């Protein structure tokens, strides 16, 4: 570890109680890391972190993310018939109430699975959608 490598102190908690404080080096370059750790340790840490990232991305594809109230309302508006739209024309509150009604919401095709984006997907250049 070079003399310029910053060290951060972090509290270690167990059951919400601080039991220790550790000093963690924060390497500025890969060369600094290589100079301070052996190759086996570097590869082991990278491979473990990479495995966790890849498994997390795969797990995130199967997590159902509930729709927000606003998205439910707009999906409901899109599902309204012409007659229903005419019946609430000019009354925004009535349109929202109708769009969010159980009857209209039951007509909306719900996706079987809604994938969420993990932060590592964003780092890989994947598009994120809200």
Categorize the per-residue pLDDT at 126 as very low, low, confident or very high, splitting at 50, 70 and 90. very low
Q: Compare 127 and 77 and report the one with higher pLDDT.
A: 77
Is 31 a domain residue? yes
Place of tokens 């060369």: 31
Give a yes or no: residue 103 inside a domain: yes
Residue 49 domain-assigned (yes or no): yes
Q: What share of the chain is helix, strand, coil (3-state, %, to 5)?
A: 50, 15, 35
Q: Annotate 57-83 with DSSP letters as a single string.
A: HHHHTTPPPPPPHHHHHHHHHHH--HH
Q: Is the pTM of this model over 0.85?
A: no
Task: Assess whether 13 and 59 both reside in one domain.
Answer: yes
Asked if residue 120 belongs to a domain, the reply is no
Whether residue 83 sits in one domain with residue 100 = yes
**pLDDT by residue (tens digit) across 74-88?**
999 999 999 998 999
95 and 55 in a common domain: no
Q: Specify whether 92 is located in the same domain as 58.
A: no
54 falls within a domain: yes
Asked if the model's pLDDT at residue 30 lies above 80, the reply is yes
Q: Which residues neighbour 18 within 8 Å (Cβ) at sequence distance 6 or greater?
A: 11, 12
The answer to the question of residue 128 being in a domain is no
**Residues 54 and 83 reside in one and the same domain:** no
- Apex 16 CA angle, 11 and 20, nearest 5: 30
Domain assignment of residue 23, given as a range: 7-63
Helix, strand, or coil here: 7?
strand
Structure tokens at 123: 């780092």
Q: What is the pLDDT of residue 121?
A: 45
Same domain, 17 and 46: yes
Q: In total, how many domains does the chain have?
A: 2
In this prediction, residue 111 carries a pLDDT of 53
Is residue 117 situated within a structural domain? no
Q: Is the pLDDT of residue 63 over 50?
A: yes
Same domain assignment for residues 12 and 59: yes
């Amino acid at each position: 570890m070079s003399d310029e490598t910053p060290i951060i102190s972090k509290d270690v908690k167990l059951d919400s109680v601080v039991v220790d404080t550790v000093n963690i080096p924060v390497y500025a370059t890969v060369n600094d890391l290589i100079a301070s750790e052996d190759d086996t340790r570097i590869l082991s840490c990278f491979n473990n972190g990479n495995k966790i990232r890849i498994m997390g991305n795969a797990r995130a594809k199967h997590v159902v993310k509930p729709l927000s109230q606003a998205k439910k309302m707009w999906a409901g508006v899109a599902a309204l018939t012409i007659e229903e739209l005419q019946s609430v024309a000019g009354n925004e509150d009535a349109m929202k109430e109708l769009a969010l009604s159980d009857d209209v919401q039951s007509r909306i095709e719900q996706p079987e699975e809604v994938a969420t984006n993990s932060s590592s997907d964003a780092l890989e250049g994947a598009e994120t959608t809200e």
